[in-house]
Amino acid sequence: MMLEGLALADIAARFGTPVYVYSRAALIAAFEAYRRASGGRQASVCYAVKANSNLGVLSAFAALGAGFDIVSGGELARVLAAGGRADRVVFSGTGKSRDEMRQALLAGIRCFNVESAGELERLDELAAVLGVIAPIALRVNPDVDPQTHPYISTGLKHNKFGVASDDALALYRRAAALPHLRIRGIACHIGSQLLNAAPAVEAAGKLLVLVDLLAAEGIHLEHIDLGGGLGIRYRDETPPAVAAYLAPLLALFEGRPEELCFEPGRSLVGNAGLLLTRIEYLKPGEGKHFAIVDAAMNDLIRPALYDGWHGVVPVLARTGPPRRYDVVGPICESGDFLARDRDMAVEEGDLLALLSAGAYGMSMSSNYNSRPRAAELIVDGDEVHLVRERETLESLYALERPLPLG
Ligand code: LLP
Mean pLDDT of 358-377: 98
Q: What is the pLDDT of residue 285?
A: 83
Residue range 127-171, pLDDT digits in tens: 999 999 999 999 999 988 887 777 767 767 777 788 998 899 999
Q: CB 285: neighbour CB atoms within 10 A?
A: 9
Give me the half-sphere count of Cα atoms (radius 13 Å) on the Cβ side of residue 31: 24
Q: What is the pLDDT of residue 149?
A: 75
Q: How far apart are CA 164 and CA 171, in angstroms?
A: 10
Mutate to test the pocket of ligand 1, among 226, 266, 301 (most ligand atoms within 8 A of CB): 266
Domain boundaries, the chain: 93-262, 271-396
Under the banding of pLDDT at 50, 70 and 90, the label for residue 395 is: very high
Task: Give, in order, the Cα–Cα distances in Å from 30 to each of 8, 36, 37, 43, 251.
Answer: 22, 10, 11, 16, 21
Q: Which residue, among 318, 237, 316, has the nearest Cα to 271 in the 3D structure?
A: 237
Same fold, 93-262 and 271-396: no
Ligand 1 atom nearest to 139, measured from its CA: 3
Mean pLDDT of 307-323: 96
Mean pLDDT of 173-184: 98
Mean pLDDT of 32-58: 94
Mean pLDDT of 303-327: 96
The continuous run of DSSP H or E covering 166 comes out as helix 165-177
Under the banding of pLDDT at 50, 70 and 90, the label for residue 241 is: very high
CATH H-level superfamily of 93-262: Alanine racemase (3.20.20.10)
Q: What is the pLDDT of residue 160?
A: 78
Mean pLDDT of 7-36: 98
Ligand 1 atom nearest to 92, measured from its CA: 3
To 10 degrees, the CA torsion angle through 63, 65, 71, 74? 30
Q: How far apart are CA 37 and CA 302, in angstroms?
A: 29
Mean pLDDT of 10-32: 98
Q: Is the CB of 306 under 6 A from ligand 1?
A: yes
Q: What is the pLDDT of residue 406?
A: 76
Q: What percent of the chain has pLDDT over 70?
A: 100
- Which tops the pLDDT comparison, 406 or 247? 247
Measured in Å, residue 34 CA sits from the centre of ligand 1 at 17
Q: Is the CB of 358 under 6 A from ligand 1?
A: no
Measured in Å, residue 229 CA sits from the centre of ligand 1 at 6
Residues with Cβ within 8 Å of 321's Cβ and at least 6 positions away in sequence, in order, are 345
Residue range 271-300, pLDDT digits in tens: 999 999 999 999 998 888 999 999 999 999
Q: How far apart are CA 140 and CA 214, in angstroms?
A: 13
Bond from prior residue into 18 cis (ω within 30 degrees of 0):
yes
Distance of CA 286 to the CA centre of its chain: 38
Q: How far apart are CA 361 and CA 304, in angstroms?
A: 12
Q: How far apart are CA 236 and CA 180, in angstroms?
A: 49
Q: What percent of the chain has pLDDT over 90?
A: 91
The dihedral through the CA atoms of 125, 130, 135, 138 has a sign that is negative
Average pLDDT for the chain? 96
Q: Residue 242 pLDDT more than 90?
A: yes
Question: 3-state DSSP call for residue 236?
Answer: coil
**Closest Cα to atom 6, ligand 1: which residue?**
228
Residue range 105-126, pLDDT digits in tens: 999 999 999 999 999 999 999 9
The continuous run of DSSP H or E covering 205 comes out as helix 198-216
Q: What is the pLDDT of residue 405?
A: 87
Of the candidate ranges 36-50, 149-163, 332-346, the one whose mean pLDDT is the lowest: 149-163
Measured in Å, residue 192 CA sits from the centre of ligand 1 at 5
Q: What is the pLDDT of residue 301?
A: 98
Q: Which fold has domain 271-396?
A: Lyase, Ornithine Decarboxylase; Chain A, domain 1 (2.40.37)
Q: What is the pLDDT of residue 42?
A: 78
The dihedral through the CA atoms of 359, 238, 42, 127 has a sign that is negative
Residue 46 bears catalytic tag: no
Mean pLDDT of 170-188: 98
Angle at 46 between CA 44 and CA 51, to 5 degrees: 155
